[in-house]
Amino acid sequence: MKFINKIQVANLKGRGGAEFPTAFKWLSVAKGHLKEFNQPVFVVCNGAEGEPGMFKDGYILQNYPEKVIEGIKIAMDTLGAEKGYIYLRQDYLKKFKNHLKKYIGKLPIELTAEKIGYLGGEETTLLETIQGDRPEPRLKPPYPTEFGLLGCPTLINNVETFYQISQIQHNEYKNTRFFCISGDAPKKGVYEFPVDMSIGEILKRTKNVPRFNYFVQVGGGAAGEILTKEELNKPLIGAGGIIIYNLKKTDTKELIKKWVNFFFDYNCGKCVPCREGLYRLKEMLQKNEIDMVLLRSVLRTMRDTSFCPLGKSVYLPIDSMLESVKVNYKNKRDTK
Amino acid sequence: MKKITIKIDDKKITCAEGKMILHVAQENGIEIPHLCDHPDLQVKANCRMCVIKIKGRNGLFTACSTPVEDEMDIITDDREIRRSRKTNLELIFGEHHLDCENCTWGKRCGLLQYQKPLRAKITRFSNRKEKRPSKQFGPIIFEGKKCIDCRNCVEVCPVGYYEIEKRGIDISIEPSTNKNKDCVYCGQCIVHCPAGAIKSDGEFEEMEKVFELKKQGKVLVAQFAPSIRTSIGEEFGMPYGSIATDKLSAALKKLGFDYVFDTSVGADFTTTEEAGEAIERILSGKDLPIFTSCCPSWVKYVEFYHPHLRKNISHARSPQMMLSSIVKNYFAPKQKIDPKNIVMVSIMPCTAKKYEASRPELNFENGLKPIDYVWTTRELAWILKDKKIDLKTIKDDPADNPLGDPSGAGVLYGASGGVMESALRTAYFRLFGRDLQKVDFEQVRGQDGVKRAVVRLCKPVKFGGDKCVELRVAVVNGLKNAKIILDELKQDPKKYQFIEVMACPGGCIGGGGQPLPINEEIRKKRSASLYQIDKTKKIRLAHQNPQVQQVYKEFLTDKKLTKKMFEVDFKPEGKSKIKIKK
């Protein structure tokens, strides 16, 4: 409990993208454990990192595996967890398996593979996957902290979050986070900066301010928001990705198609707006003329009524692109 | 449970904490559009039609999956909510083949019901599933091009026969190809499908055939099952639970049937036979517990999933079969009708009865089939509407004699516990040679999935004393619950002596061939009316039915003949083939 207090003082927020206060999550698991004392508690380290343009978890696993394992161990000790899992996208598992095993040693931590890409990183889908069930999101509530793996209280934190836990333990946490810079950036890579540094400042510090006309996508290469260079004077919220696009070289229509295809490929098929909406978006984008009213109402309905974050997040990149960057769609009037 | 106060559309409502908003709204007469939610099933929140707003919170929430909290202030309708529902409904229409004329819902489905008020355009998107095939297994047909992927069928199937295949846009519900799984034809998937994507063989294309046969000089005979009298009225706008026995026979006659009989009389024969068999087996201890045999899904379930228990099934034929035995072998010759000229149409609340009628083991010695056609309640309603016969306004005309007037016990067959109760009433007579004074067996009534009772039958003191027999009985409705009882039997094979199982929740009143919608409230009302009929009948014991007594006296004079007419020994076949129709 003392340690949870320390997390709270540090004001650590989840680094998976949802920015949920970490101390809250831990407390909630502890409470769940108190309610059902006979049930085991599980700790899961989420390293599914399925969003395009995101590679900081891989970077951390490569460079600081001991810190990640330490973070998981602290969580397990603090919460009295029986078992820990490191849930990794398949290439990470292959790449870091031996490496991680060395640091795990005799700790009850199991390495396990993500199976379906992208959606596999959504935390309830992750639970279904580990259980061996059909990988699909669960209804919330109940939340995983209370009713998680096999119905037991479960803590799910991102790789980076566990890294920062270890930093907090050693009093070395400096309110920083990792940023992935990619796309048409001259200096691609993973950088660590204070959480509240503005996007523009990050680009400046990393010598990534392009000389060409550009726009950026922040948060993630599929679900992230599109910002013009005038909109960069604010800190990044969400997943820590910054992708730079050369305006001249980028076919924005193709980019939107790419996003839609990405979501289309990874949607699980459970709910109507996401399954059917993505199909119709794809269908509409293949045509020369687009009914913009219909396109927007499908996007809005997906945002407002989808079951899980996948369907909800299709709206933001497309809408912000249409708002900020000119996209040459031929508008077809609805023939009502 | 804690009571809380909430507001829905500014209406103050007191309700139990933890219930879902949708269900609280429904209980208070506030309709929120929904498709995948069904009171019999778990909350899935797949269709996203029931979105609402909660004041003070951002975004939309699905009413089916959001529990009420104290002082919650809910808005169920505004521009934004409508817009979302409209788009989702249009997307759903984009994966649904329209065939409203031939739909199990008869144009009363949620899709159409919400389409108008939401001003949704049915053809906004073309049906992307148009090329999906239909698959038939036994009498059940699953039409892929109508399925809206809600998964109700997957959940409701008692044997896990439906499987979810693939992901995303290619997701589809498929009958299992696993050789250890087979459909038992109960049709619960049909009555839980919001989109009418599943139907039974014949719906709604084959009724006309029968009338062609009449033109060729055949004699049309109809029999109608016990449970139908309190359900078919719904199709004609009558309130749930309306009793329509004599309207039903009037409508059948008007439709062109030469004779209309009541399957409940068949049930009286079944009771007489089964009670006798039960008492015999209980006294001798052979092949116990005895299972009832009138539900063909249950019989198929035992045959396929628990073949070692086959010997426990009663040898008695089901009521529709017994009635047909008498019609074709006793009534026909008496009326100088060639049995081969009789076309027997059986109106059943059931899809598995279609399968039962096709089982060759039931054919008579001369090869003649007892039942020529089985129609579901829905099919009868469809053809009546087609012929402009309004059940609601038609003048009563009772069924024909000698096989048209059942005992109260025979009518109870339509409700869970009814077969057991009928059998107990007659068993008493078999044991003590006297009739029961108080005939109600409340212990076996009601909608509970599993009912257990120890029934003490005692000889009246004034007739020689205190001789008593204790019967350990169980009554199951809903095949999922049968597993509970079978597990108990595994632990203690002697736990029960007599077990009634009906595959459908509530018994036949909740059958897979019944009008839609079906839920517990509706099942209760249909069932209550059957008990009402029993209560008002002068004769409430099956063996006392003079029509039954007459047949035994005039026709079933030797045991061998009775056996031929009333018993069956099934030879189960393996897994049913899945036929694919493009």
Does the residue A276 lie in any domain?
Answer: yes
Distance CA A312, CA A304 (A): 7
Q: How far is A336 from chain B (nearest CA, A)?
A: 9
Give pLDDT tens digits for B304-335.
Answer: 999 999 999 999 999 999 999 999 999 999 99
**Chain A residues near residue B59 by CB distance under 8 angstroms:** 304
Distance CA B50, CA A68 (A): 42
**Chain A residues near residue B42 by CB distance under 8 angstroms:** none
B343 forms bridges with which residues in the sheet? B220
**Final residue of a structural domain among A246, A278, A298:** A246
Distance CA B385, CA B391 (A): 9
Q: How far is B95 from chain A (nearest CA, A)?
A: 8
Instruction: Evaluate whether A93 touches A111 at the Cβ level (below 8 Å).
Output: yes
A137 forms bridges with which residues in the sheet? none
Q: B172: nearest CA in chain A?
A: A269
- Are residues A305 and B148, on separate chains, in Cβ contact within 8 Å? no
Phi, psi dihedral angles at A91 (to 5 degrees): -70, -35
- Are residues B91 and A297, on separate chains, in Cβ contact within 8 Å? no
Amino acid at B446: G
Place of tokens 């869970």: B416
Average pLDDT over residues B342-365: 97
- Are residues B95 and A116, on separate chains, in Cβ contact within 8 Å? no
Which residue from B413, B469, B414, B405 is spatially nearest to B436, judged by alpha carbons?
Answer: B469
Give chain B's mean pLDDT. 96
Distance CA B472, CA B470 (A): 7
**Chain A residues near residue B22 by CB distance under 8 angstroms:** none
Average pLDDT over residues B335-363: 97
Interface list for chain A against chain B, based on CB atoms closer than 8 Å: 116, 134, 139, 141, 264-273, 275-280, 283, 294, 297-298, 300-301, 304-307, 336
Give pLDDT tens digits for A224-278.
Answer: 999 999 999 999 998 999 999 999 999 999 999 999 999 999 999 999 999 999 9
Distance CA A89, CA A110 (A): 14
DSSP for residue A133 = S
pLDDT the model gives residue A50: 94
**Chain A residues near residue B67 by CB distance under 8 angstroms:** 141
CATH number at residue A303: 1.20.1440.230
One domain for residues A231 and A286 = no
Assign B464 a pLDDT band (cuts: 50, 70, 90). low
**Chain A residues near residue B44 by CB distance under 8 angstroms:** 139
**Chain B residues near residue A304 by CB distance under 8 angstroms:** 51, 59-60, 80, 84
- Rounded to 5°, the CA angle B197-B202-B205 comes to 95
- Rounded to 5°, the CA angle A50-A52-A57 comes to 55
**Chain A residues near residue B92 by CB distance under 8 angstroms:** 272, 276
Question: Each residue of B209-220: b (16+ CB within 10 Å) or e?
Answer: ebbebeeeebbb
Dig out the tokens for B81 from the structure.
Answer: 């909510």
Is the pLDDT at A336 greater than 50, yes or no?
no
Question: Which candidate from B48, B67, B169 shows the least CB-CB separation from A271?
Answer: B48
Does the residue A12 lie in any domain?
Answer: yes
Question: Which candidate from A116, A269, A276 shows the least CB-CB separation from B91?
Answer: A276
Instruction: Evaluate whether B323 touches B269 at the Cβ level (below 8 Å).
Output: yes
Count the Cβ atoms, other than its own, within 10 Å of residue A286.
9
Average pLDDT over residues A106-128: 96
Instruction: Evaluate whether B141 touches B354 at the Cβ level (below 8 Å).
Output: no
- Are residues B46 and A280, on separate chains, in Cβ contact within 8 Å? no
Is the pLDDT at B472 greater than 50, yes or no?
yes
Is the pLDDT at B30 greater than 50, yes or no?
yes
pLDDT the model gives residue B459: 83
Distance CA A256, CA A244 (A): 15
Q: How far is B51 from chain A (nearest CA, A)?
A: 7
Q: Does B168 touch chain A (CB under 8 A)?
A: yes
Question: Which candidate from A275, A297, A307 shows the least CB-CB separation from B87?
Answer: A297
Beta pairing, strands A109-113 & A83-88: parallel
pLDDT the model gives residue B582: 78
Average pLDDT over residues B492-521: 97
Average pLDDT over residues B117-130: 96
Distance CA A79, CA A154 (A): 10
Domain B3-77 fold? Ubiquitin-like (UB roll) (3.10.20)
**Per-state percent for chain A, helix, strand, coil, to nearest 5:** 45, 20, 35
Which residue from B159, B151, B163, B225 is spatially nearest to B192, judged by alpha carbons?
Answer: B151
Average pLDDT over residues B477-505: 97
Instruction: Write down how long chain B is.
Output: 582
- Domain map of chain B by residue range? 3-77, 99-200, 208-566
* Residues whose CB falls within 8 Å of the CB of residue B297, separated by 6 or more in sequence, listed in order: B184, B185, B186, B350, B352, B479, B503, B504
Number of domains in chain A: 3
Distance CA B301, CA B511 (A): 16
- Are residues A276 and B167, on separate chains, in Cβ contact within 8 Å? no
Question: Which candidate from B43, B88, B169 shows the least CB-CB separation from A301?
Answer: B88
A198 forms bridges with which residues in the sheet? A235
* Residues whose CB falls within 8 Å of the CB of residue B221, separated by 6 or more in sequence, listed in order: B257, B258, B259, B260, B261, B327, B342, B343, B344, B345
Give pLDDT tens digits for B519-536.
Answer: 999 999 999 999 999 999
Q: Omega into B39 within 30° of 0, i.e. cis?
A: no
Distance CA B93, CA B146 (A): 9
**Final residue of a structural domain among A222, A246, A270:** A246
Which residue from B301, B305, B38, B344 is spatially nearest to B185, judged by alpha carbons?
Answer: B301
Place of tokens 């892929």: B144
ipTM of this complex: 0.96
- Please tell us whether the domain made up of B208-566 is placed in CATH 3.40.50.970: no
**Final residue of a structural domain among A206, A225, A246:** A246
Q: Does B47 touch chain A (CB under 8 A)?
A: yes
Q: Does B95 touch chain A (CB under 8 A)?
A: yes
Q: Is the sign of the CA dihedral B37, B173, B508, B351 positive or negative?
A: positive
Q: How far is B158 from chain A (nearest CA, A)?
A: 19
Give the active site residues of B.
274, 277, 294, 314, 353, 356, 361, 508
Distance CA B542, CA B528 (A): 20
pLDDT the model gives residue B143: 98
Q: Does B87 touch chain A (CB under 8 A)?
A: yes
- Give the largest CA-CA distance in chain B: 79
Which residue from A303, A260, A259, A292 is spatially nearest to A278, judged by alpha carbons?
Answer: A260
A310 forms bridges with which residues in the sheet? none
| DSSP per-residue letters across B444-476 | G-SS-SEEEEEEEEE--GGGT---EEEEEEEEE
B5 forms bridges with which residues in the sheet? B14
- Are residues A272 and B148, on separate chains, in Cβ contact within 8 Å? yes
pLDDT the model gives residue A332: 80
Q: B61: nearest CA in chain A?
A: A305
Question: Each residue of B307-345: b (16+ CB within 10 Å) or e?
Answer: eebbebbbbbbbbbbbbbbbbbbbbbeeeebebeebbbb
Does the residue A83 lie in any domain?
Answer: yes
Does the residue A336 lie in any domain?
Answer: no
CATH number at residue A85: 3.40.50.11540
The radius of gyration of chain B from alpha carbons, rounded to an integer in Å, stands at 25
In a mutational test of the A interface, the residue from B91, B127, B150, B154 whose CB has the highest number of chain A CBs within 10 Å is B91
One domain for residues A42 and A187 = no
Does the residue A35 lie in any domain?
Answer: yes
pTM here?
0.96
* Residues whose CB falls within 8 Å of the CB of residue B114, separated by 6 or more in sequence, listed in order: B33, B49, B85, B89, B120
**Chain A residues near residue B51 by CB distance under 8 angstroms:** 304-305
Question: Which candidate from A267, A268, A273 shows the least CB-CB separation from B91?
Answer: A273
Beta pairing, strands B198-200 & B140-143: antiparallel
One domain for residues A145 and A219 = no
Q: Does B41 touch chain A (CB under 8 A)?
A: no
**Which CATH number among 3.30.70.20, 2.60.40.1250, 3.30.365.10, 3.20.20.70 corresponds to the domain B99-200?**
3.30.70.20
Assign B476 a pLDDT band (cuts: 50, 70, 90). very high
Does the residue A151 lie in any domain?
Answer: yes
Ranges assigned E (strand) in A133-266: 154-158, 176-183, 189-194, 214-218, 225-228, 241-246
Question: Which candidate from B46, B60, B83 shows the least CB-CB separation from A271?
Answer: B46
One domain for residues A133 and A226 = no
One domain for residues A110 and A241 = no
> What's the order of all strands across the beta sheet hosting A225-228?
A189-194, A176-183, A241-246, A214-218, A225-228
Give pLDDT tens digits for B377-425.
Answer: 999 999 999 999 999 999 999 999 889 999 999 999 999 999 999 999 9
**Chain A residues near residue B43 by CB distance under 8 angstroms:** 139
Dig out the tokens for B545 from the structure.
Answer: 């039915």
Distance CA B296, CA B169 (A): 37
Residue-range definition of the domain harbouring residue A211: 176-246
B52 forms bridges with which residues in the sheet? B61
Q: How far is B133 from chain A (nearest CA, A)?
A: 19
Which residue from B117, B123, B116, B114 is spatially nearest to B96, judged by alpha carbons?
Answer: B123
Give pLDDT tens digits for B266-294.
Answer: 999 999 999 999 999 999 999 999 999 99
Q: How far is A283 from chain B (nearest CA, A)?
A: 10
- Give the largest CA-CA distance in chain A: 67
- The three-class DSSP label of residue B495 is coil
Distance CA B353, CA B345 (A): 12
- Scanning B53-72 for CB atoms below 8 A from A yields 59-60, 62, 65, 67
Distance CA B565, CA B321 (A): 9
> What's the order of all strands across the beta sheet hosting B468-477?
B290-291, B498-502, B468-477, B450-458
Q: H or E stretch including B220?
A: strand B219-224
- Are residues A272 and B121, on separate chains, in Cβ contact within 8 Å? no
pLDDT the model gives residue A328: 83
CATH number at residue A234: 3.10.20.600
Question: Each residue of B93-118: b (16+ CB within 10 Å) or e?
Answer: bbbbbeeeeebbbbebbbbbebbeeb
Amino acid at B44: K
**Per-state percent for chain B, helix, strand, coil, to nearest 5:** 40, 15, 45
The residue ranking higher by pLDDT, B322 or A1, is B322
Q: Does B520 touch chain A (CB under 8 A)?
A: no
Is the pLDDT at A334 greater than 60, yes or no?
no
The radius of gyration of chain A from alpha carbons, rounded to an integer in Å, stands at 21
One domain for residues A200 and A294 = no
Q: A133: nearest CA in chain B?
A: B164
Q: B120: nearest CA in chain A?
A: A336
| DSSP per-residue letters across A8-49 | HHHT-B-TTTT--BHHHHHHHHHHHHHHTTTS--EEEEEE--
A183 forms bridges with which residues in the sheet? A244
In a mutational test of the A interface, the residue from B48, B172, B173, B174 whose CB has the highest number of chain A CBs within 10 Å is B48
